[in-house]
Amino acid sequence: MSKKTNAAILIIGNEILSGRTQDTNTSTLSLWLNSLGVSVQEVRVVPDVEETIVNSVNLLRNTYDYVFTTGGIGPTHDDITAESISKAFNLEYEIHKEGYKILEAYYKPGEFNEGRQKMIWMPRNSKLILNPTSGAPGFRVENVFCLPGVPSILKSMLGGLKNDIVGGKPILSLTINLRTVESEIAKSLTKVQQNNKDVEIGSYPFFQAGKLGVSIVIRSDDQDKINTCNSQILEFVKKKKIEVVKRD
């Protein structure tokens, strides 16, 4: 497979590590990036600890084309993403003038208090990522995009970012759901994978309405290659008299 544009996601937040909050941003970001032809190669979840964030960001931004961070850009003491990113890039951590104007206009007079002002302290010369939901912007430094942790706000900010991402061909996928178990198809599926080395074929067991099944997922940026695999899989499925089923 040709070298794909890739990305990593860095999830910053004790609430994910403690198990209290279920991360959903990985899935949101990955699906969105796939549609832009960018493949997520790694996700890390780290605590609200400056040194850890600085080291992780520096490693990831030097390894992948794009890095997306989520969380830690709010007004409270545990929101240390912006300051950590400043340190990672060795940039001044300061009030972002354009961001200041946006929030000054967003809040009613007198409501743009110290807590809220913390949200526009950023690495010097950050590019703002506009927030249509709740005012406070995210920011971009080079290939690192810093987004909030609240899923609905994060989602609302992606639309404005599309032109900032230069990806490859969108990554396409096709799923075949079978009423079988993995061990029944393992050998045949291995052959299909061997015959189509530049296509990613995954096999995932599922339980639905008390019955076992397997989802086979074929992924590639080339629809023809997906179709070829699909035919080869349906061929052995037919021979083995396995039922193809629908799944929501």
30 binds its own copies (CB under 8 A): yes
Structure tokens that stand for 223 in this block = 């629809």
80 binds its own copies (CB under 8 A): no
Spell out the alpha helix ranges (H) of the chain.
Answer: 14-17, 25-35, 50-63, 81-89, 97-106, 114-118, 151-158, 182-195, 223-239
Single out the residue of 5, 193, 208, 228 in contact with its own copies (rule: CB under 8 A): 193
Asked if 189 and 205 touch (Cβ cutoff 8 Å), the reply is no
Single out the residue of 4, 116, 127, 169 in contact with its own copies (rule: CB under 8 A): 116
65 binds its own copies (CB under 8 A): no
Single out the residue of 92, 184, 198, 243 in contact with its own copies (rule: CB under 8 A): 184
128 binds its own copies (CB under 8 A): no
Closest C-alpha to 152, from 235, 242, 28:
28
Asked if 99 and 135 touch (Cβ cutoff 8 Å), the reply is no
Binding-residue pattern over the window 34 to 63 for its own copies, x denoting contact by CB under 8 A:
x----xxxxxxxxxx---------------
- Cα dist from 182 to 30, 67, 197, 199, 217, whole Å: 26, 35, 20, 19, 13
138 binds its own copies (CB under 8 A): no
Single out the residue of 51, 109, 110, 207 in contact with its own copies (rule: CB under 8 A): 207
Single out the residue of 20, 97, 197, 239 in contact with its own copies (rule: CB under 8 A): 20
Q: How far is the CB of 234 from its own copies (least distance, A)?
A: 17
Q: What distance in Å separates the CA atoms of residue 239 and residue 114, rounded to the nearest whole number?
A: 69
Structure tokens that stand for 165 in this block = 């991402």
Helix axes 223-239, 182-195, angle to 10 degrees: 140
Query: Which residues sit at the interface with its own copies, rule CB under 8 A?
Result: 11, 13-24, 26-32, 34, 39-48, 74-78, 113-116, 118-119, 149-150, 152, 171, 173, 182-187, 189-190, 193, 200-205, 207, 217, 219
